[in-house]
Each structure stands twice: as structure tokens, then as C-alpha cells.
Amino acid sequence: MFKPLLATACVLVGSWNPAHSVESLRASEFTLICNDNPASLVFAVLESKSGSFMGFDKNGRVSYAASMTDTPRIVGTWESIIDTPHVSIISKQGVRTNILNLYTQKCDEKYSF
């Protein structure tokens, strides 16, 4: 079984393809790292227990890094799901993954980067 963020990353980079389904992951399964620097493009990062990272930027892009030393690459876009605390990620291949309750998740860590 895939670890949650790893499964999402596989969907985003196209190495895993659920047949016409939308995977939903809970934000509480990740460490939410918030950026306190309002001038920065990246405002939030989700870290999995396996140490992979998914970053969200103000331009609606999602990037992924397999580890802290890996260079992040853009793998898709994100958008708010109207009237919910959820976010939807759409890979470059068009596969959708929802992160549930991301807007209600409190920051586990805060940095300026």
C-alpha cells in the first residue's frame, strides 16, 4: 500500500492511475508547514510521514519533492473546492486528488522561507 503523500505524488507525476476515481486524503495525515513570509510564492507545504513534500504556491501550482534534499518539481495545480475546507489537486495528466479539511488544519510548524 502507498503511503498517502507518496500515493498522491505518484498520481501527480503519472506513475499511478486510478481508473476514473478521485482519491481523497485527510490533511490531518500530514504535517502542515506554513510560511510566515507574505512575500514568498510558496505559502504552505505538506510533509508526509515518509519525508516527502508537496508545496502549494500562490499561483495555483503544486510542487513535489521526494525528500528534503530533492529539488521540487511542478506536478500540477490546486484549487479550492467551493463552500468546503477542501482543496483539489489536478495533475498535469488530469487526475484529481482532494485534500480534505486543509483550510481548517492548524499549522504544525511555521517558518519564513
C-alpha cell at 67: 525528500
How many domains does the chain divide into? 1
Q: What is the mean pLDDT of each run of 10 residues along the chain (113 residues)?
A: 42 43 87 91 91 94 93 95 94 92 94 83
pTM: 0.76
63 and 72 in contact (C-beta within 8 Å)? yes
pLDDT tens profile 2-22 = 344 444 444 444 444 444 467
- Report the alpha-carbon distance of residue 89 to residue 79 in Å, rounded: 7
Helix/strand/coil for 6: helix
Which residue range forms the structural domain that includes residue 21? 4-111
Q: Write the CA distances from 59 to 25, 79, 81, integer angstroms.
A: 22, 10, 16
C-alpha distance across the termini of the chain, in Å:
33
